[in-house]
Amino acid sequence: MLDRIPNKEDIVRAAELIKQYINRTPVLTSATFNKRYHSEIYFKCENFQKVGAFKSRGAVHAVVNISEPDRKNGVCTHSSGNHAQALARAAGLFGIPAYIVMPENSPRVKIEAVRNYGGIITFCKPNLEARETTLKKVQEQTGAIEVHPYDNYDIIAGQATAAMELLEEVSDLELVLCPVGGGGLLAGTALAVHSFSLNKAKVIACEPDGADDAFRSFHKGEIVPSISPHTIADGLLTSLGKRNFPIIQEYVQDIVTVSDESIIEAMRLIYERMKIVIEPSSAVPFATVTTRKIDISGKKTGIILSGGNVDLKQLPF
Amino acid sequence: MLDRIPNKEDIVRAAELIKQYINRTPVLTSATFNKRYHSEIYFKCENFQKVGAFKSRGAVHAVVNISEPDRKNGVCTHSSGNHAQALARAAGLFGIPAYIVMPENSPRVKIEAVRNYGGIITFCKPNLEARETTLKKVQEQTGAIEVHPYDNYDIIAGQATAAMELLEEVSDLELVLCPVGGGGLLAGTALAVHSFSLNKAKVIACEPDGADDAFRSFHKGEIVPSISPHTIADGLLTSLGKRNFPIIQEYVQDIVTVSDESIIEAMRLIYERMKIVIEPSSAVPFATVTTRKIDISGKKTGIILSGGNVDLKQLPF
């Protein structure tokens, strides 16, 4: 298990370790979008990742990096969705149980998916305190090792491999846009860009107005917890992790927020023009482009599409 | 312009001619589906094609193959959607006008798309007679050359390039499933499989129960017109073309029909598991698999996903 901020070699090693268990996801472009925004936009499609989200990268890496004797009683976590599925699947790959604490109001599609991957679910009230208390209990009963969804260096190194792959294909990016919730993907992306970008690309974090704790933390210089966040981007509700924040402070150039309305519109545009299914959280970075909150004209821009696990009966457009 | 059934060389030449104007679309697989149906299914994703449908292939090929003096007054057609967009775009590539006759009840998204590609629309009543009369008038007024959506050998040769590409990537397919409406894609696919399949793959046409004229024509041995068809698969309402039918009789092994309910379920499964946007017509072949109307177990199977132009506000699931 990594006990410090992952460096370039850690990310390369993570990519090697997880390679056989995850998809190398495609990088897609849209002629329409490139024309409209006078740019070249490269979408790294983690919606095509195993379990439908980048979370598979970190989860597999975390499980691989726990020694065999340590992981024999399984792993556990609390998660509102994608990390839960990813950890359940990762545990299954290594023949160990995954105990998942989920808020009782999680989307149906995510609950079913966790079960399909063999995860053992304990439901709790939808607040952080209930999640943590319930998880403690589960841990005491089972002896499972906790794999935090984002506040974990192995997770961060695993998530970093998405941007690493993107830069392998498009080495001269100038901007990389990434959504931020707890900061696992963002910290990983920032470290990967720092390690592998030829052009020293800028990393811009993108966040919903209704869950702008990262924006406030970034500008205040200390972690401001996410209290009663409200946004369609249900993957971005959590507060920044304490391991994630210093990485973000050092390697992220700016954080930009967008309204739910613009997130929904960006999501619809991606479905309509790119013909791919993404979840609302994935649309947050592109919403900063469509609203011209970030001016990408003339700049080669990478966008991490984080996942595609959405309740298709509840599409917001 | 081709005046006979396209052969292997015609298809290769079509591919060369259209190459720079179309996308080489990806071939996707799903581990979940392969496990569930005990097969390897290769989805040729024409939803990622220019204008969101395979129709771009035929339209570009048809326009390229009309001599410059002949095409100076433009091209025209009647089409309920994807062919209209494709022809408008193809004409635009060569700087000539495209006159499109469209039924007044065409989906909003398709009307707007035709306009965005520069097509000049004349609306008509939603029946074949009105389409043909209106098109005649447009032709008389403009001197444009008609490019029929499917009953045209250049169109058939263009559509054939999708299956040709699929076989270039997966040469040992044993089954190829293809939707059938007017028979442009199906005739092209059947010719491509006949020309390029190492294993002499079988071609199975897939059709909605509510528009089963191809099924009836195939079994009666003569074209049975599609009268008052009713199906969610709005790209498959038309009757078989007279140039298409003999090709289908010779090179297609069987035609299987499925209910709208199963088409909707197959469509939802593809969105949910493959994270891609397809239109209902595209889901028809996979519906023959999910309903076990075709047994693909143990057989390497190709499926042509024909397009992704769907009104996202009206998804049927």
Q: Give yes or no for a contact between B62 and B149, defined as CB atoms under 8 angstroms apart.
A: no
- Contact of B101 with B129, CB cutoff 8 Å: no
CATH 3.40.50.1100 maps onto chain B at 8-54+153-314, 56-146
**Considering only CA atoms, which of B8, B3, B4 is closest in space to residue B192?**
B8
Residues on chain B touching A313 (C-beta within 8 angstroms): 317
Task: Supply B224's token pair.
Answer: 């049975």
Taking chain B (317 residues) in runs of 10, the rounded mean pLDDT of each run is 97 98 96 96 98 97 96 93 94 97 85 92 91 96 97 98 98 98 97 96 98 98 94 93 98 98 98 97 98 97 96 90
Backbone CA torsion sign across A241, A242, A247, A248: positive
Kindly state the helix (H) or strand (E) to which residue A301 belongs, with its residue range. strand A300-305
Rounded CA-CA distance B242/B239 in Å is 9
Residue A81, pLDDT score: 81
pLDDT at A160: 98
Query: Measured between alpha carbons, how far is B287 from B281 in angstroms, rounded to an integer?
Result: 10
Answer yes or no: are the C-beta atoms of B283 and B310 closer than 8 Å: no
Angstrom distance (rounded) from CA A21 to CA A86: 11
CA–CA distance from A125 to each of A131, A181, B167, B266 (Å)? 7, 20, 52, 35
Q: Are A285 and A301 in contact (CB under 8 A)?
A: no
Q: In chain A, which residue's Cα lies nearest the Cα of B268?
A: A312
User: How far apart are alpha carbons B165 and B162 in whole angstroms?
Assistant: 5
> E strands along A163-253, which residues?
175-179, 202-208
Give B51→chain A minimum CA distance, Å.
Answer: 9
| Listed residue (A29, A14, A111, A119) closest to A60, CA to CA | A14
Tell me the two tokens of residue A35.
């024309």
A276 touches chain B (CB under 8 A): yes
pLDDT tens, A274-311?
Answer: 999 999 999 999 999 999 999 999 999 999 999 999 98
Indicate the class that CATH gives domain A56-146.
Answer: alpha beta
Testing the interface with A: which of B24, B275, B317 to mutate, by most A Cβ within 10 A? B275
Q: B277 at the A interface (CB within 8 A)?
A: yes
Class of domain A8-54+153-314 as given by CATH: alpha beta
- This model's pTM is above 0.90: yes
A272:B312 CB<8 A: yes
Q: Which residues of B touch A275 (CB under 8 A)?
A: 47-48, 52, 276-278, 308
Task: Provide the pLDDT for residue A256.
Answer: 98
How far apart (Å, rounded) are the C-alpha atoms in residues A211 and A280? 13
Question: How, if at all, do strands B98-103 and B120-124 pair?
Answer: parallel
d(CA A91, CA A79): 15
Residue B99 backbone phi and psi in degrees, to 5: -100, 120
State which amino acid sits at residue B145. I
Please name the residues between 2 and 41 in chain A that touch chain B, using a CB distance below 8 Å: 26
**What's the pLDDT tens digit per position in B63-88?**
999 999 999 999 999 987 899 999 99
Low-confidence ranges of chain A (pLDDT < 50): none
